[in-house]
A and B are shown apart, each in its own frame.
Chain A
Amino acid sequence: DAKTTQPPSMDCAEGRAANLPCNHSTISGNEYVYWYRQIHSQGPQYIIHGLKNNETNEMASLIITEDRKSSTLILPHATLRDTAVYYCIGYTGGFKTIFGAGTRLFVKA
């Protein structure tokens, strides 16, 4: 499973887009990129996942580079409730899923 690298923390102004980067240079061809977030003292929440193409859902957009070595999660209009730790993981199945320390996003009014 791919090792992922994320910045430890980021700030974003409320109402602006939050762009969270993730490097996954060791990702293999059949590994999906998944994003989750964890609000303090709660279980992680699934956000989005993708393999090659960019993806969008009601929560966020996922942009994956053509070489698949990195991706960016975009929250188009961040709110205070988006303050959380965001995890990027790459895996082919649940048995080796490891969530790293993630990126702590602070959305400020």
Chain B
Amino acid sequence: DGGITQSPKYLFRKEGQNVTLSCEQNLNHDAMYWYRQDPGQGLRLIYYSQIVNDFQKGDIAEGYSVSREKKESFPLTVTSAQKNPTAFYLCATSFKINQPQHFGDGTRLSIL
């Protein structure tokens, strides 16, 4: 979706490093989400945020952290505690928490 920008498109991480994935939106949506997708699999929810300064763990939050200091931004940090971080990461937004979600084009993270 044009209103959601994920960067970078490709990211490489060395063992033991933390990396931060960016997600910015100009849709004025309250809710934002982070998903992880492994090859041939569906999406799994990492974290979600219903409103600024609030966020909740999804099903696979271990090894990840987020912040929501601004409505437009919901960065995801993949920490060194995440032992298998290689995946396709997708950010999504929705007007409210129970509304249709709109997705960015994703960031593909690989381990060097």
- Among A34, A95, A96, A99, point to the contact of B43 (Cβ < 8 A): A99
User: Would A34 and B100 count as touching, CB distance under 8 A?
Assistant: yes
A101 at the interface (CB under 8 A from B): yes
User: 0/1 per residue, A65-109, Cβ < 8 Å to B?
Assistant: 000000000000000000000010000111111111110000000
- Counting chain B CB atoms within 10 Å of each CB, the highest count among A43, A46, A95 belongs to A43
A26 at the interface (CB under 8 A from B): no
B102 at the interface (CB under 8 A from A): yes
Question: What distance in Å separates the Cβ of A45 from its nearest Cβ neighbour in chain B?
Answer: 7
Whether A94 contacts B103 in the complex (CB less than 8 A), given A43-B1, A43-B90, A44-B90, comes out as: no
- Among A32, A42, A44, A93, point to the contact of B97 (Cβ < 8 A): A93
Interface size on A, residues (CB 8 A): 22
B56 at the interface (CB under 8 A from A): yes
User: Would B103 and A43 count as touching, CB distance under 8 A?
Assistant: yes
B64 at the interface (CB under 8 A from A): no
- Among B41, B44, B45, point to the contact of A95 (Cβ < 8 A): B45
- Pull 22 A–B residue pairs with CB atoms less than 8 Å apart, ordered by A: A36-B101, A41-B88, A42-B105, A42-B106, A43-B4, A44-B92, A45-B103, A46-B100, A92-B98, A93-B97, A94-B33, A94-B45, A94-B94, A95-B45, A96-B58, A97-B33, A97-B43, A98-B43, A98-B44, A99-B42, A101-B40, A101-B41
